A and B are shown apart, each in its own frame.
Chain A
Amino acid sequence: MTLWLIVRRSLRQHLLSTFITSMSIALAGGLCLSVWTIKDQANATFTGVDSGFDAVLGARGSKLQLVLNSIFHVEASAGNLAWEDYTDIKANPSVAAAVPIAVGDNFRGYRLVGVSTNLFTEIEYKPGQRFEVYGGGRVFDPSRREAVVGSFVAQKLGLGVGDTFHPYHGLIFDEKKQHAETYVVVGVLRPSNTPSDRVIWIPLAGLQRMSGHDPKTATDLSAVLVKLRSAQAGFRLDLLYNKQGNRLTMAWPIGQIMAQLFSKISWFDRVLELIAYLVAVVAVGSVLASIYNSMNERRRDIAILRALGARRRTIVGTIILETVAISAFGMVLAFGVYFAIFTLVASVIRAEMGVVLVATQWHPVMLWAPGLMIALSAVAGLVPAFKAYRTNVADHLVPVS
């Protein structure tokens, strides 16, 4: 009780420096929490996102580009494949479902994806969960100029059932490239927390035959999203398309391809980790400097406490406990900083990739970061504590008569 009373009073006496040093710990701790949770959660989420498919078939090229273009709806298409390629793979006994898609247009920067309606009727984007139109809408009629809008797009563009729009050519919004066709929104998808939320789905034929598109490629596809019957089927198709064939590319398994991307940019994770560690060390150093610099004014108090019978180790204990208290308070604030950083980053990732990260999801860093910061602060506290330990009582109980 005595130690804590002394520490509390000391913190109150040095309120401004206590607050500033706690804030530096909070910022450093919040950064640590954010770096580790965001990178690990992003890694797990991106490698886990497959929107219900096992593989993507596309033109010969990069598997990663194929996945990013077809599953995450970013990046340009590597090229087209013929309608026959779709019918071939659909007929393959290893394939449970095949969904052809075509890309190439946008509306105000959000991608239009031409798709067959079996995306909504056959595919579970997560076990037991299908894309679902809600709020009185319905899935588009493939023979009409109708659209189903992803929840994020609907929210951002304020689109609802009954609204109409003109598509724009290309994947990047350019208001000079407006198509003549008018599409009617007939449904809004319930949020799926997948990249599909950022897409405007229209009939496959609608995109293929959009005015201004080359009529010669009117039956071409950008990719075929594939659901396999078994893992062994993946090996067979990989052999068929990637090793024996040289015209098409089968991106399989999707998670592993994304993991390779994260592996390639893992150096960036390490840079972020290093920065977080450095900021943490600087923050702990600020605690040390703050308490160390106040030692001269504290010496009289220390001498008085010693004169009252406090042992040197008691004084050392109060100094270390004070650094620990500042650090612990800072780490409580750090969770606020973490939520702020996480919310900002997660909103950017959701806007750009359609992937949702959750700030409240447990990560071991939430335990070890506070522990590490508090332990480092306690170690840093040893320096001023040693100065306190050496305080000469008689010299500081002035005046001497």
Chain B
Amino acid sequence: MSLLNISELKKSFLSPGGEAHAVVDVPSFSLGEKEQVALSGESGSGKTTFLNLIAGIIRADSGSIRIGETELTSLKESKRDRVRASEIGYIFQTFNLLQGFTCLENVLLGMSFGAKADRDVAKKLLERVGLSDRMSHFPRQLSTGQQQRVAVARALASRPRLVLADEPTGNLDHQNARDALALIRETCDETGAALLLVSHDRAVLEAFEVCRDLKEINIARREEAAV
């Protein structure tokens, strides 16, 4: 059974000249429960926009995004926020940790807007990602690898059904990238969350059983290339 079903999804932005510029045009895409899929795509291929549409951060021009039984595109922004808070975990390339908050507080914030923030759960997640001795540290006091671990713990804090990862290893060295990727996949496995990861790093993509090229899914870019 599919967790994520996308059909006829379109999003365009206005160029400075006032012309509509299609960024996402996905006729069909689906992701099963607990499935882990990697999408390959170069910079400017619409990866982030695609993930932001799924996360409900931006609104589609048309089409359908269904997460479980919920049709995201028909929801008001506040409802989309609620779906994002409770159903979706988001891991960013630049981690996007809040610098004024400790590691533990960052993880707590990951569960604060959906369910009730549970300190014990947050601590267990940080222990799981190997940061039990860094809970009171601020992000600036951590290495980049450790920061990404906090971001992973935060993404899983609300026990989401779907984790979106946007170039999660893009800012890490080779060893840290491998560790972070393994951690993301393992923790998603453990929590039963499906994983949709986008990257242009071949080593990352090869680690997945299912890897799809975004150009095949997003025909907006294909058409643009043809032009």
- Decide yes or no: A401 and B113 within 8 Å by CB, A307-B96, A308-B85 being known contacts: no
Q: What A residues does B146 contact at CB under 8 A?
A: none
Q: What B residues does A307 contact at CB under 8 A?
A: 55, 57, 84, 90, 92, 96
**A394 contacts which of B57, B94, B110 (Cβ < 8 Å)?**
B57
The 10 A-B pairs of least Cβ separation, nearest first, read A309-B85, A309-B113, A2-B112, A13-B100, A9-B100, A400-B48, A311-B81, A309-B84, A304-B96, A393-B57
Q: Does B158 contact A (CB under 8 A)?
A: yes
The SS class assigned to the A binding surface is helix
> Closest residue of chain A to B45, judged by CB?
A401
Q: What B residues does A1 contact at CB under 8 A?
A: 112, 117
Measured in the bound complex, the distance between the Cα atoms of B105 and A386 in whole Å is: 26
> Closest residue of chain B to A3, judged by CB?
B112
Q: What B residues does A393 contact at CB under 8 A?
A: 52, 57-58
What 0/1 pattern do residues 327 to 365 of A give for CB contact below 8 A with B?
Answer: 000000000000000000000000000000000000000
Q: What B residues does A13 contact at CB under 8 A?
A: 99-100
Residue from A1, A310, A313, A399 whose CB has the most chain B CB atoms within 10 Å: A399
Measured in the bound complex, the distance between the Cα atoms of B49 and A355 in whole Å is: 74
> Closest residue of chain B to A1, judged by CB?
B117
Q: What A residues does B48 contact at CB under 8 A?
A: 394, 397, 400-401
User: Are the CB atoms of A397 and B84 closer together than 8 Å?
Assistant: no
**B82 contacts which of A6, A10, A309 (Cβ < 8 Å)?**
A309
Say how far A9's CB is from chain B's closest CB, in angstroms.
4
Q: Does A305 contact B (CB under 8 A)?
A: yes
Q: Does A271 contact B (CB under 8 A)?
A: no
- Decide yes or no: A398 and B94 within 8 Å by CB, A9-B105, A309-B113 being known contacts: yes
Q: What B residues does A399 contact at CB under 8 A?
A: 93-94
Q: What A residues does B43 contact at CB under 8 A?
A: 401
> Would you give 23 A-B contacts (Cβ < 8 Å), ordered by A?
A2-B109, A2-B112, A5-B108, A9-B101, A13-B100, A300-B96, A304-B98, A306-B81, A307-B90, A308-B84, A308-B112, A309-B84, A310-B85, A310-B113, A311-B78, A311-B81, A313-B78, A394-B57, A394-B58, A397-B96, A399-B94, A401-B45, A401-B47
Q: Does A39 contact B (CB under 8 A)?
A: no
Say how far B6's CB is from chain A's closest CB, in angstroms.
18
Q: What A residues does B84 contact at CB under 8 A?
A: 307-309
Q: Does A270 contact B (CB under 8 A)?
A: no
Report the count of interface residues on A (CB-CB < 8 A).
Answer: 28
Q: Which of A1-57 contact B (CB under 8 A)?
A: 1-2, 5-6, 9-10, 12-13
> Closest residue of chain B to A14, judged by CB?
B100
Q: What A residues does B77 contact at CB under 8 A?
A: 311-312
Measured in the bound complex, the distance between the Cα atoms of B90 and A2 in whole Å is: 19
Say how far A364's CB is from chain B's closest CB, in angstroms.
39
Q: What A residues does B94 contact at CB under 8 A?
A: 398-399
- Decide yes or no: A301 and B117 within 8 Å by CB, A399-B93, A400-B49 being known contacts: no
Measured in the bound complex, the distance between the Cα atoms of B90 and A12 in whole Å is: 27
User: Are the CB atoms of B109 and A401 closer together than 8 Å?
Assistant: no
Q: Does A80 contact B (CB under 8 A)?
A: no
Give the size range of B's interface with the partner: 35 or more
Say how far B99's CB is from chain A's closest CB, in angstroms.
8
Q: Does B170 contact A (CB under 8 A)?
A: yes
User: Are the CB atoms of B109 and A394 closer together than 8 Å?
Assistant: no
> Closest residue of chain A to B154, judged by CB?
A308
Q: Does A65 contact B (CB under 8 A)?
A: no
Q: Does B25 contact A (CB under 8 A)?
A: no
Additional pairs, 17, CB under 8 Å, beyond known A304-B96, A308-B90, A394-B52: A2-B112, A5-B101, A6-B109, A9-B100, A10-B100, A300-B96, A301-B99, A307-B84, A308-B109, A308-B154, A309-B158, A311-B77, A394-B49, A394-B58, A397-B52, A401-B166, A401-B198
Q: Does B148 contact A (CB under 8 A)?
A: no
Q: Which of A158-215 contact B (CB under 8 A)?
A: none
Say how far A396's CB is from chain B's closest CB, in angstroms.
10
Q: Which of B27-54 contact A (CB under 8 A)?
A: 41, 43-45, 47-49, 52
- Decide yes or no: A312 and B96 within 8 Å by CB, A1-B117, A2-B109 being known contacts: no
Say how far A11's CB is from chain B's closest CB, in angstroms.
9
User: Are the CB atoms of B105 and A5 closer together than 8 Å?
Assistant: yes
Measured in the bound complex, the distance between the Cα atoms of B141 and A66 in whole Å is: 76
Measured in the bound complex, the distance between the Cα atoms of B170 and A264 in whole Å is: 77
Measured in the bound complex, the distance between the Cα atoms of B108 and A1 in whole Å is: 11
Say how far B153's CB is from chain A's closest CB, in angstroms.
13
Q: Does B86 contact A (CB under 8 A)?
A: yes
Say how far A15's CB is from chain B's closest CB, in angstroms.
10
What 0/1 pattern do residues 209 to 236 of A give for CB contact below 8 A with B?
Answer: 0000000000000000000000000000
Q: What B residues does A301 contact at CB under 8 A?
A: 98-100
User: Are the CB atoms of A401 and B86 closer together than 8 Å?
Assistant: no
> Closest residue of chain B to A2, judged by CB?
B112
> Closest residue of chain B to A393, judged by CB?
B57
